[in-house]
Amino acid sequence: MYKWASDLFPINRSLTGAGVRESLAYIKKLLPELTVHAVPTGYQAFDWEVPEEWVINEAYIENQRGERIVDFKNNNLHVVGYSSAVDAIMSRSELDTHLHSLPDKPDAIPYVTAYYKRKWGFCLTHKQRSALPEGNYHVVIQSQHIRGFMNYGEIVIPGESSQEVLFSTYICHPSMANNELSGPVVCAALAKYIGSLPKRKYTYRFVFVPETLGSIVFISKNIEHLKKWVVAGYNVSCVGDNRAYSYLPSRHGDTISDRAALHVLKHTDPEFDRYTWLERGSDERQYCSPGVDLPIASIMRTKYGKFPEYHTSLDNLSLISPDGLQGAFDVYCKAIEIIENNCVPKTKIMCEPRFSKHGLYSEKNTKGAVFGSPERNIMNMFSYCDGTKSLLDIANLIQVPFHNLLPVLRQSIELDLLEIQDQL
């Protein structure tokens, strides 16, 4: 995953344009079944419209000595996204009205966009900006806004059921790593992993969309299907650093996506950060909006807006790591395991089974089974298999990871001690 992120890092992505297409082509090499959609400029999606495509060739600021002191070639964050074309000579003070920098982060180039306004600007470190001498500057942006397309990628991995688990991530951010190359590479790895499973209960759909507009367009094209079939899912973002785990709920907050996420995170890192719906900021805003109402939550490493390098050039490849990506991948795999396997078990035995007789339990005084021991966990699990609680509910009630109970469940069904009351 880290290698993929490194390959994708230098590409200049934006809401639309060649960078997005190049990135999707790279992902298609990893996931040959990926379909790349193209939605034309002017397409109406609910309250929104696909804007013109942005084409940029060159952008720089030259000082009086003809030196390119800021150059888009060096870092694609240097240009405000969707900047209109300019070729002008102007004073230091006029130039300054088009510059963006962060006084409190003097070494960071900020990430700025202006999709729906025609203006232009450059981003640079505050250190560099402060050092600009008086004098005239030659400012060049060779960009165009053309009737073109907004692109997104989609892959469907069929399962036994038409019910779907939806993963969405975004591919509109230029050279930044945690937010957001981590999401696309973790989603690519999850899609490969799910595709490699011998069988799946659910169908899995992954989409790689430009944030906000992309998810709105995707929803608008598939609303009936999504509302009918999606039973769980996640918006995957900020899954690359190794500093924290965090959770952001769906709007309803108690869907299976939420409950699986909370369970896995509690057993992965009890100190995980738990955010509220009011702190949301990515495509769950669309997936969970009233009328759409999909069960989409987020499991993240350090959440957008909560790390100092956020939306600057400091969110680079050194911020993310193989371990960080792997941690997120593992947590999502465990959440998927819960979604795939949750069910409502019901005991077929009145009173406690004699566990030792069935080999579920080593022969000893059951009173000796200390809290947390495998024996106690089996006793506790059976005590709640009353046909009204899911295995996930039971795992929470008895404070044991779901993946520890799953083998016991399967063995007990084999032994005809339990039956499955209801598939969830």
Query: Is 354 a binder of its own copies (CB under 8 A)?
Result: yes
Cβ neighbours for 44, distance < 8 A, ≥ 6 positions apart: none
Using DSSP bridges, classify how beta strands 136-146 and 149-157 pair: parallel, antiparallel or unpaired: unpaired
Q: Binding its own copies by CB under 8 A: which of 65, 118, 199, 367? A: 367
CA–CA separation, 61 and 48 (whole Å) = 34
Q: Which is nearer to its own copies, 271 or 363 (CB)?
A: 363
Q: Which stretch binds its own copies (CB under 8 A): 55-63, 108-116, 190-198, 335-343?
A: 108-116
Tokens of 273: 């950060």
Q: Which is nearer to its own copies, 32 or 290 (CB)?
A: 290
Instruction: List the one residue out of 417, 256, 399, 259 whose CA is nearest residue 345.
Output: 417
Q: Which is nearer to its own copies, 30 or 112 (CB)?
A: 112
Q: Which is nearer to its own copies, 61 or 230 (CB)?
A: 230
Q: Which is nearer to its own copies, 13 or 21 (CB)?
A: 13
Q: Binding its own copies by CB under 8 A: which of 100, 306, 346, 403? A: 346
Tokens of 4: 């993929």
Shortest separation between residue 286's beta carbon and its own copies, angstroms:
5
**Three-class secondary structure of residue 196 per DSSP:** helix
Shortest separation between residue 292's beta carbon and its own copies, angstroms:
6
Q: Which is nearer to its own copies, 63 or 84 (CB)?
A: 84
Q: Binding its own copies by CB under 8 A: which of 144, 356, 373, 404? A: 356
Query: Is 361 a binder of its own copies (CB under 8 A)?
Result: no
Shortest separation between residue 369's beta carbon and its own copies, angstroms:
9
Contact 114, 73 (CB under 8 A): no
Query: Is 380 a binder of its own copies (CB under 8 A)?
Result: yes
Shortest separation between residue 329's beta carbon and its own copies, angstroms:
25
Contact 169, 184 (CB under 8 A): yes
Q: Binding its own copies by CB under 8 A: which of 383, 404, 414, 422? A: 383
Query: Is 219 a binder of its own copies (CB under 8 A)?
Result: yes
Q: Which of residues 160-199 bind its own copies (CB under 8 A)?
A: none
Contact 301, 227 (CB under 8 A): no
Tokens of 20: 């997005």
**Three-class secondary structure of residue 22 per DSSP:** helix
Query: Is 216 a binder of its own copies (CB under 8 A)?
Result: yes
Binding mask 299-338 for its own copies (x = CB under 8 A): -----xx-----x---------------------------
Q: Binding its own copies by CB under 8 A: which of 357, 362, 373, 414? A: 357
Residue 390 burial by Cβ neighbours in a 10 Å radius (0-12, 13-18, 19+): buried
Q: Which is nearer to its own copies, 21 or 280 (CB)?
A: 280
Contact 405, 393 (CB under 8 A): no
**Residue 6 CA to its chain's centroid (Å):** 18
State the virtual CA torsion across 177, 182, 185, 190 in degrees, nearest 10: 170
**Three-class secondary structure of residue 40 per DSSP:** strand
Q: Which of residues 276-295 bind its own copies (CB under 8 A)?
A: 277-281, 285-286, 288-293
**Three-class secondary structure of residue 158 per DSSP:** coil
Contact 290, 209 (CB under 8 A): no
Q: Which of residues 24-83 bind its own copies (CB under 8 A)?
A: 45-48
Shortest separation between residue 308's beta carbon and its own copies, angstroms:
16
Q: Which is nearer to its own copies, 128 or 289 (CB)?
A: 289
Concatenate the DSSP letters of all residues of 371-423 into one string: TTSHHHHHHHHHHT-BSSS-HHHHHHHHT--HHHHHHHHHHHHHTTSEEEEEE
Contact 315, 303 (CB under 8 A): no
- If binding means CB under 8 A, how many residues of this protein chain bind its own copies? 57
Q: Which is nearer to its own copies, 147 or 354 (CB)?
A: 354
Q: Which of residues 244-263 bind its own copies (CB under 8 A)?
A: 251
Q: Which is nearer to its own copies, 315 or 340 (CB)?
A: 315
Query: Is 116 a binder of its own copies (CB under 8 A)?
Result: yes
Which amino acid appears at position 375 of this protein?
Answer: E
CA–CA separation, 341 and 424 (whole Å) = 9
State the virtual CA torsion across 338, 342, 346, 349 in degrees, nearest 10: -40
Q: Binding its own copies by CB under 8 A: which of 67, 160, 254, 352? A: 352
Residues that bind its own copies (CB under 8 A): 45-48, 112-113, 116-117, 212, 215-216, 219-220, 223, 251, 277-281, 285-286, 288-293, 304-305, 311, 346-347, 349-354, 356-357, 363, 365-367, 371, 379-380, 382-387, 397-399
